[in-house]
Amino acid sequence: MARAQTLSRNQQIVLDIIEKAKGPLKAYSILFNVQKKGINAPQQIYRALDKLIEMGKIHKIESKNAFVACRSSDCEISKATAFSICESCEMVDEISDAKLSKYLSSFNHKKGMKFKRFNLEFFGLCKKCK
Amino acid sequence: MARAQTLSRNQQIVLDIIEKAKGPLKAYSILFNVQKKGINAPQQIYRALDKLIEMGKIHKIESKNAFVACRSSDCEISKATAFSICESCEMVDEISDAKLSKYLSSFNHKKGMKFKRFNLEFFGLCKKCK
DNA sequence: ATAACAAACGTTATATTATAACACTATGAT
DNA sequence: ATCATAGTGTTATAATATAACGTTTGTTAT
Ligand SMILES: [Zn+2]
Ligand SMILES: [Zn+2]
Ligand SMILES: [Zn+2]
Ligand SMILES: [Zn+2]
């Protein structure tokens, strides 16, 4: 058994920063922010990010190569993620909508492929920006 | 008026390659494939890719940093794109499903954001791979 | 406790993806 | 003709991500 819920030192440092952030963070911006804590190399960041994603603690916003903390419970270890992204201020909000999630989780492609996971990114202008 | 439908030389070369390909192509793999035609620099590829995306001729698969030709008509200049992606063989298939597209296009977030565009990526194993 | 294993770590180097900046050319509109 | 827009070619560099290696730490089983 792995130590399923305990985070390692580096994982905790990286998660803390992502959770405190107002918006999505990029890997190298995380790196620059933790150099005072003795983390010096991209590898250390990317390894922590990979594990945190596996655990469902964070998600990657693919269209931005950036990372946000999970604020939802619908996404069940990143099998079903949806985000709303402002094209002006870069704000990202995790969408937690049971109906949407159910609809997409049960969506079946004509060509017979059974899906294990999806990621949906909506783009527009947020309240502030429109 | 711009020459809305005519492709430039480089755009045509890049589009041809993407259309002929069986699966998604990466920018640098396109580059290596067109060096015999006198295209030598990443910029030339990325510029063509950007325009082709704008025109709706191709799409970017964000989770793979790769590009596919548009095979749909539902996506109306890339405002509403959906893909099915095999995690084993990397096959990508554009999903053209009017109901899905309508459902998502009219989806409204609780927090009052009006969406202009979405991109949905499903992951699983294709027929061959499962 | 200790051996064995898995996970995490630190480090150096390198690969991959993407953009900046600048000078030049072609095209179409007024 | 002149002006604006789009496209080109080129060099350089930025930003994102992984490979490979040996070491250390934590967990489990005996
Ligand atoms: Zn989540
Ligand atoms: Zn905004
Ligand atoms: Zn399309
Ligand atoms: Zn497959």
Inter-axis angle of helices A9-20 and A42-55, nearest 10: 80
Lowest mean pLDDT among A6-10, A15-19, A110-114: A110-114
The pLDDT assigned to A112 comes to 80
- Nearest alpha carbon to residue B42 among B14, B16, B15: B14
B124 touches chain A (CB under 8 A): yes
The H-assigned helical ranges of chain B are 9-20, 27-33, 42-55, 98-105
A95 touches chain B (CB under 8 A): yes
Asked if the Cβ–Cβ distance from A117 to B123 is below 8 Å, we say yes
Closest-lying ligand to the alpha carbon of B90? Answer: 4
The pLDDT assigned to B130 comes to 82
- Predicted confidence (pLDDT) per residue in B24-53, tens digit: 999 999 999 999 999 999 999 999 999 999
Tokens 């063989």 belong to which residue?
A: B89
Summarize the confidence of residues A10-37 as an average pLDDT: 97
Res B1 pLDDT > 70: no
Tokens 């998660």 belong to which residue?
A: A15
Contact criterion met (CB below 8 Å) for A59 and A67 = yes
Average pLDDT over chain A, rounded to an integer? 93
Q: B90: part of which helix (H) or strand (E)?
A: none
B128 touches chain A (CB under 8 A): no
The pLDDT assigned to B5 comes to 67
- Nearest alpha carbon to residue B124 among A60, A107, A103: A107
Please state, as a whole number, how many other Cβ atoms lie within 10 Å of the Cβ of residue A84.
22
Contact criterion met (CB below 8 Å) for A88 and A129 = yes
Contact criterion met (CB below 8 Å) for A19 and A57 = no
Average pLDDT over chain B, rounded to an integer? 92
- Predicted confidence (pLDDT) per residue in A49-96, tens digit: 999 999 999 999 999 999 999 998 778 788 999 999 999 999 999 999
Asked if the Cβ–Cβ distance from A115 to B84 is below 8 Å, we say yes
B100 touches chain A (CB under 8 A): yes
The pLDDT assigned to A2 comes to 39
The pLDDT assigned to A39 comes to 97
* Closest Cα in chain A to B119: A121
The pLDDT assigned to A75 comes to 82
> The pTM is what?
0.94
Contact criterion met (CB below 8 Å) for B96 and B68 = no
Res B11 pLDDT > 50: yes
Res B100 pLDDT > 90: yes
Asked if strand C comes closer than 7 Å to A36 Cβ, the answer is no
Question: How many Å apart are CA A5 and CA A21, to the nearest integer?
Answer: 22
Res A127 pLDDT > 70: yes
Asked if the Cβ–Cβ distance from B118 to A113 is below 8 Å, we say no
Question: How many Å apart are CA A82 and CA B104, to the nearest integer?
Answer: 11
Classify the phi-psi angles of A76: left when phi > 0, otherwise alpha if psi is within -120 to 50, otherwise beta.
Answer: left
CA distance A24 to chain B (A): 16
**A47: nearest nucleotide, CA–C1' criterion:** C8
> Would the CA dihedral through B9, B12, B17, B18 be positive or negative?
positive
Asked if strand D comes closer than 7 Å to A113 Cβ, the answer is no
Asked if strand C comes closer than 7 Å to A43 Cβ, the answer is yes
Res A14 pLDDT > 90: yes
The pLDDT assigned to B3 comes to 41
- Looking at CATH, the fold of the domain delimited by A9-124 is given as Arc Repressor Mutant, subunit A (1.10.10)
The pLDDT assigned to B6 comes to 87
Asked if strand C comes closer than 7 Å to A48 Cβ, the answer is yes
Question: How many Å apart are CA A75 and CA A94, to the nearest integer?
Answer: 9
Q: Which two tokens stand for residue B130?
A: 């499962």
